[in-house]
Amino acid sequence: ARLVVLVSGAGTNLQALLDACSDPAYGAQVVAVGADRDGTGGVARAERAGLPTFVVRLPDFPDRAQWDAALADAVAEHKPDLVVSAGFMKIFGPRFLERFGGRTINTHPALLPAFPGAHAVRQALDYGVKVTGCTVHFVDEGVDTGPVIAQEAVRVGWHDDEETLHERIKQVERRLLVEVVGRLARDGWTQRGRRVSMKCRTC
């Protein structure tokens, strides 16, 4: 399976996928990495791995719809079977989802539907939950709302702050993401969640 991975940050989830993909038995290869901003650690990791990269920045477009269409075009160039949003901090719009909905997955550092959005770890701490975790889910038009594929719990310690808790969640998150992508790559696109179709609709 061909993977395009989208990032906005350090790219440790991307790195976990790159490491997994170095084993041919894993059944997937990262064919390109895209970002929504310059200077991300994720794109630097991709460059070190010799992979094609692209950056599609929202401020370079007159409106969100045109950014969304340009992102979809940039992703489509690499003919992915699966798009992985791995710490990509933007909401996908209708043009992107028309082409890649049903075969775009996202990883989120909380047990959805609890704590969607960009501040999931801080909000879990503020709420005082004793168990949080991570979720890998299909992407739809909402903020972290698509059908859940896999989740794993992480206990909140008495002395955790946002940084220590997020780091522990990320360790689990990387493993879970690698497992899910491997499973989707091996089992093909017909075995997945009830409400989605992984069939390529437009390319």
Choice from 1, 3, 6, 11 touching ligand GRF (CB under 6 A): 11
* 108 noted as active-site residue: yes
Binding mask 143-182 for ligand GRF (x = CB under 6 A): ---------------------------x--x---------
Torsion sign across C-alpha atoms 69, 70, 71, 74: positive
Q: Which helix (H) or strand (E) holds 65?
A: helix 64-76
Are the C-beta atoms of 21 and 2 separated by less than 8 Å? no
Tokens 């992703």 — which residue?
75
Residue 10 lies near ligand GRF (rule: CB under 6 A): yes
Q: Is 11 annotated as a binding residue?
A: yes
Choice from 34, 80, 87, 133 touching ligand GRF (CB under 6 A): 87
What Å distances lie between residue 30 and 50, 51, 71, CA to CA?
11, 8, 17
Residue closer to ligand GRF by CB (options 11, 101) is: 11
CA–CA distance, 179 with 198 (Å, rounded to integer)? 18
Enumerate the active-site residues. 108
Q: Which residues are annotated as a binding site for (6R)-10-formyltetrahydrofolate?
A: 64, 106
Q: Which residues bind ligand GRF (CB under 6 A)?
A: 7, 9-14, 42, 86-87, 107-109, 170, 173
